[in-house]
A and B are shown apart, each in its own frame.
Chain A
Amino acid sequence: MNIRKITTVTEEILAEGGRRTDPVITVAAVAAVIENPWHGQGFVEDLGPGIDATASELGAVLAPRVMEALGGTLEAYGKAAIVGLSGEIEHGSALIHTLKFGNHFRDAAQASTLLPAVEKRGEAGAVFDIPLKHFTDATIRSHHQTFEWRVADAPHPGEILIALAGSTGGRPQQRLASLSTEQ
């Protein structure tokens, strides 16, 4: 796996709606910009070997960095794959929609749910929204949230940007009734 850069964003939200968030909510996202393992190979039918060579290693690079940025724990999480214009969206999906990738994050976060994801193709600097859901119960409404992000110079056409994101809590000032109250 050839990594060009790793970008980390940590956002501490001290106030929302004019009110203090106590405790402070921290959202962190870490992106690795890698060479598309299938770049320049035409249509590759079997993505398995490329997945085996890349996905687990990528998860092992990203997951500990998100946990460190968040101070060791999280309550919501999600993932992203942004494929450069020469690649297929399937290439990005191949790297993130496998337990080989996601289990690194699930294990580090002591999480149990599937990671919600955004996968798209775009130019360098494309804006994307990473969806986050609760780490043990994806129906917990307070934790449905989104982190908007872009990396100015990635992905190049032959690259893929792969990201993991987490939050130490639900939405700042969350105050919606739970799903169960409507059932």
Chain B
Amino acid sequence: MTTTPTRLQKPGLGAQKPSLDRLNDFDELPADFDELAWRLGVRSITVQREEIIADGGASPDAPLTQAAAIAVLANPWAGTDTQADLAPAAEQVAPVLAKVLTDRLLDALGPASAIEAFGKGAVVGVDGELEHAGALIHTPYFGNIMREMLEGTSVLCFADGRSGPSASIRVPMWHKTHATSRDHYQTIDLRLADAPKADELCVIAAASTGPRPFARIGDRRTDGAVTTEILKGLTK
């Protein structure tokens, strides 16, 4: 006997269909991935691109360009409880999000050879669980697609959280093939005026063309041995 994962509805929310049911409304395949993303509940895709030409009153040899792409979508698990199986919707939605978001990073910064650092993020609206945010970015269905498209090998660093609309999130990035390259540790600050609503999620892919402007705090290869010994004798 096989058991089917149970998707439990909270009392009073029985009329609310999981958003993926909408896929059944279409007879034909979507024309492109943007249309597929819309069918999966995406209502907007925002790209923020930052060209840092100068900092601290000086200009680096090469400007640093960062970008982040943010999809706002209906929470596929709205109305479900903590026992719901997240895998089916995550496997369906996450790769499409990774594709449409990474396409936009390549458009803003590309080609992949020009991109040196990357990161990801997810923010769930206040009616959802933090686990819903994690389900869309912390599996290979998101990360492997993004990594392959950006020609990286590192684990993707991330930020996730739950908030109302208008909250900001600072998404971290590190080197796409050398995650311990300290020069490449950087973040991008993002905020959407009206997202995520209570029953929505924001999913974010971020990338950058190089190290921080004027990076000069060394690296683990240049660090001396540092232990708590150095704290001794600093106080009475």
Contact = CB atoms under 8 A, between A and B. Distances in A.
Interface of A: 2-16, 20, 24, 127, 148-150, 152-153
12 contacts: A5-B53, A6-B50, A7-B49, A10-B49, A11-B44, A12-B45, A14-B38, A14-B43, A14-B45, A16-B43, A20-B38, A148-B193
Contacts of A10: 46-47, 49
Contacts of A153: 189
A7 B191 contact: no
B47 A9 contact: yes
Contacts of A14: 34, 37-38, 42-45
Contact of B48 (A8, A16, A24): A8
Contacts of A9: 46-49
B168 A152 contact: yes
Interface string B166-205: 1010000000000000000000010101000000000000
A4 B56 CA distance: 9
Interface in B115-152: none
A6 B166 CA distance: 22
A1 to B, nearest CB: 11
Contacts of A127: 166, 193
A13 B191 CA distance: 16
B49 A8 contact: yes
B55 interface: yes
Contact of B38 (A3, A11, A15): A15
Interface in B25-72: 34, 37-38, 42-55
Contact of B191 (A4, A11, A12, A150): A150
Nearest to B34: A14
- Chain B interface residue bracket vs A: 20 to 34
Interface of B: 34, 37-38, 42-55, 166, 168, 189, 191, 193
Contacts of A7: 48-51
Nearest to B65: A6
Contacts of B191: 150, 152
B183 to A, nearest CB: 19
B39 to A, nearest CB: 9
Nearest to B46: A11
Contacts of B38: 14-15, 20
B48 A5 contact: no
A10, A20, A150 — most chain B CB neighbours (10 Å): A10
A4 B44 contact: no
Instruction: List the 8 closest pairs (A to B, CB-CB), nearest first.
Output: A152-B189, A148-B193, A15-B43, A8-B49, A11-B46, A6-B51, A14-B38, A10-B47
Given A8-B49, A9-B46, A3 B189 contact: no
A21 to B, nearest CB: 9
A86 to B, nearest CB: 15
B199 to A, nearest CB: 12
A13 B48 contact: no
Nearest to A29: B48
Contacts of B49: 7-10
A7 B48 CA distance: 7
Contacts of B42: 14-15
